[in-house]
Structure 1
Amino acid sequence: MRRMLLVLVALLAHVPFLQPAAAQAPADPWAADIAAFEAQDAAKPPSRGGVVFVGSSSIRFWTTLAQDFPGIDVVNRGFGGSEIRDATRHASRLVAPHAPRLVLLYAGDNDLMNGRTPRQVEKDFVAFVKRVRQLTPDARIAFIAIKPSPARAQLLDAMRNTNRRIERAAATLKGVDFIDVFTPMLDADGEPRADLFVEDRLHLNAEGYRLWTRLIAPYLR
Structure 2
Amino acid sequence: MACLLAALPCRLMAQSAPPFWKEILAFKAADAQVTPIAKPIVFVGSSSFRKWVDVNAYFPGYPIINRGFGGSTLQDVIRYAYDVILPYKPKQVVVYCGENDLAANVTPAEVVMQFRTLFVMIRENLPHTTIDFVSIKKSPSREKFFPQVDEVNKAILAFLQQQHNAAYIDINPIMLDASGQPRPELFLSDHLHMQPEGYALWKKVIGPYLLK
TM-score (norm 1): 0.86
Same amino acid, percent of matched pairs: 39
Aligned to 1:180: 170
Gaps of 5+ in 1: 1-24
Bigger relative contact order, structure 1 or 2 (CA pairs below 8 A, ≥6 apart): 2
Matched, 1:76 2:66: yes
Q: Deviations over 1:46-88 (max 9, x none)?
A: 1221100000000000011111000111111011210011111
Q: Structure 2: which 5+ runs fail to align? A: 1-14
Q: C-alpha displacement at 1:186, in angstroms?
A: 1.1
8 Å CA contact 2:39–2:91 kept in 1: the answer is yes
Pair 1:88-2:78 in alignment: yes
The residue matched to 1:215 in structure 2 has which SS?
A: helix
Deviation at 1:43, TM superposition (A): 1.0
Paired position in structure 1 for 2:150: 160
Alignment partner, residue 140 of structure 1 = 130
Q: Residue 23 of structure 2 contacts residue 70 of structure 2 at CA under 8 Å; is this kept in 1?
A: no
Residue 91 of structure 2 corresponds to 101
How far apart in 1 are the matches of 2:177 and 2:70?
27
Q: Offset at 1:176?
A: 1.4
Structure showing greater Rg: 1
Equivalent residue of 1:36, what SS? Answer: helix
Compute the displacement of 1:190 (Å).
Answer: 1.0
RMSD between superposed Cα atoms in Å:
1.2
Whole-Å Cα distance in 1 between the matches of residues 70 and 176 of structure 2?
24
| AA matched with 1:37 | F
What do residues 119-170 of structure 1 show as CA deviations (whole Å, max 9, x unaligned)? 1111111101111123322110000000011010111111011100110011
Pairing of 1:43-58 with structure 2 (within 5 A)? 43-58=33-48
Aligned counterpart, 1:37: 27
Runs ≥4 residues deviating over 2 A? none
Q: Which of 184, 187, 205 is the aligned partner of 1:197?
A: 187
Higher alpha-carbon deviation: 196-205 or 169-178:
169-178
Pairs aligned (count): 197
C-alpha distance in structure 2 between counterparts of 1:135 and 1:208, whole Å: 33
Please tell me whether the aligned partners of residues 46 and 97 of structure 1 are also in contact (alpha carbons under 8 angstroms): no
Q: Which residue of 2 aligns with 1:210?
A: 200
